[in-house]
Amino acid sequence: MQKINLDRSWEYLELGFANVLNLTSSEYEWKKVDLPHDAVIEKERSELNPSGAGEGYTVGCSLYYKKELILDEQWQGKNLILEFEGIMGIAEVFVNGRLVAKHFNGYTSFLVDITKHVKMVDKNIIIVRVENTHKPSSRWYAGCGIYRHVWLHIGGKVYIKPWHLHVQTRAIENETAILEIRAVVVNSVNEKVKGVIKFDVFSKEEKLILSSEERFLIGKSEEKVIAKTLELKPFKYWDIEDPYLYKIQATIICDESIEDSASTLFGVRTIEVNPNEGFKLNGKPLKLKGSCIHHDNGPLGSASYDRAEERKVELLKASGFNAVRLAHNPFAPAFLDACDRLGMLVIEEFFDVWHAGKVSFDYHLFFDKYWEEDLESTIMRDYNHPSIIMWSIGNEITWGVGVDVDDDSGYSIYSWCERLAKKVKSLDSSRLVTAALCAIPDDYKRLFAIIEEGNYVIRMLKQEADVIEDKWGEFSEKFSRFLDVVGYNYKVDRYEYD
């Protein structure tokens, strides 16, 4: 699908709940803004704000964004899909006064098919409501607003679904990279369609080095996965010293004319772990020199500018890091693109909370209903990034959870760990699954005592092993059986014993 950036020429309004049909009247004073936009960074802070120290004593916001969209006449009969990379707050999307989508996770991207809701001969009004007034809703500075890019995807009657052109290195044999290409093709018309999908692989220098075709027949209103195995020889590995990127372009041809196309970058690399040699990249042991970072850009707030995202990676590389863990949520595509280009390994984390919260209004309120949608959209969007080596299903999830419960109540931490890990593997079997472990409820009284004594950062949750009653060891063993790699937060004193 053709992809057009829609960041320019928006307007925004700070307002409580209102009828969107009335928002276009002259009584409202809209402010002009280009995206990405964080409305909170400009506001005064106060220790009286309920967000507290974790969110930097910031205020909450209730916002409306508006954009006029005039469609090109060449898009007549095309499929139109909006992509929001990230909206911090509970988001509602309206097109010409009609509610067409809701989204509840401020860190995950989402797609909105607007084909049936737009008009070709008149201007279209897109309004996005962002509700982020209930505080505290985060344990760190989060911002508020449409803080990442917005795109419009334009596809033919038969098109490649956004985020669904994937490349996986299946094996390396005799200096040949065995690639599996998968494209999800959508037929939007009410009849069967015959066609050809052409896969072209280009070098980093934009030279065509491999081409293959596959015929298909797709039923009316059907989604279909078209897979193809390609052999790339010779090839260059992607690694942290030479992050070599290929490009694949998929083109759909129907009745001898191009109906749709899509392209993505990818790298050829292998990853594995074992207890004796640790992590291996392209068959060679590699120690991860890692950092955990949050998504904000300091004085820019949470607004995700491409250069700011790239600069973060450059600074990490210059400081000697070769890996980063995304704390504690999916990041902007621009950050991952920079990791691909510059050679930075990534552990991408899905959630800071599951069904039990850490602050009053965080994602735990929506997790039960939307975890699967958010996990799937993240993996589909980020599948081709060679920099990503692990998916983390959670950060310190044991906060606020009775870990000794392992029953059918629906809130067993062990059953949820198994459920999430299996879901990740069903979507992506090529990467490792991890989770970051920290305290268990029995730690809390001890933690509070340490805090009262002072120096709690250094001594935080050390929990040395007790050969008689090793509660943390018992818990972590049961939890970790679903993981490929276990994350230890703060527990340096456990390393040698475990």
Q: Give the residue numbers marked as catalytic.
A: 396
End-to-end CA distance of the chain: 50
**Distance in angstroms (rounded) separating the CA atoms of residues 476 and 301:** 36
Other C-beta atoms closer than 10 Å to the C-beta of 267 total: 21
Nearest residue to 323 (alpha-carbon basis) of 293, 289, 278: 289
**Distance in angstroms (rounded) separating the CA atoms of residues 59 and 106:** 16
**Distance in angstroms (rounded) separating the CA atoms of residues 171 and 451:** 51
The answer to whether 36 and 7 have CB atoms below 8 angstroms apart is yes
Query: What distances in angstroms separate CA 232 from CA 176, 282, 325, one per listed residue?
Result: 6, 16, 31
**Distance in angstroms (rounded) separating the CA atoms of residues 239 and 241:** 6
**Distance in angstroms (rounded) separating the CA atoms of residues 339 and 315:** 12
Query: 123-147 burial by CB neighbour count: b if 16+ within 10 A, else e?
Result: ebbbbbbbbbbebbbbbebbbbbbb
- The pair of three-digit structure tokens given for residue 84, joined into one six-digit string: 């929001």
**Distance in angstroms (rounded) separating the CA atoms of residues 238 and 179:** 14
Q: Is 57 exposed, middle or buried (0-12, 13-18, 19+ CB in 10 A)?
A: middle
Q: Is the peptide bond before 234 cis (omega within 30 degrees of 0)?
A: yes
Beta bridge pairs of residue 246: 266
The answer to whether 328 and 395 have CB atoms below 8 angstroms apart is yes
Query: 453-487 burial by CB neighbour count: b if 16+ within 10 A, else e?
Result: eeeeeeebbebeeeeeebebbebbeebbebbbbeb
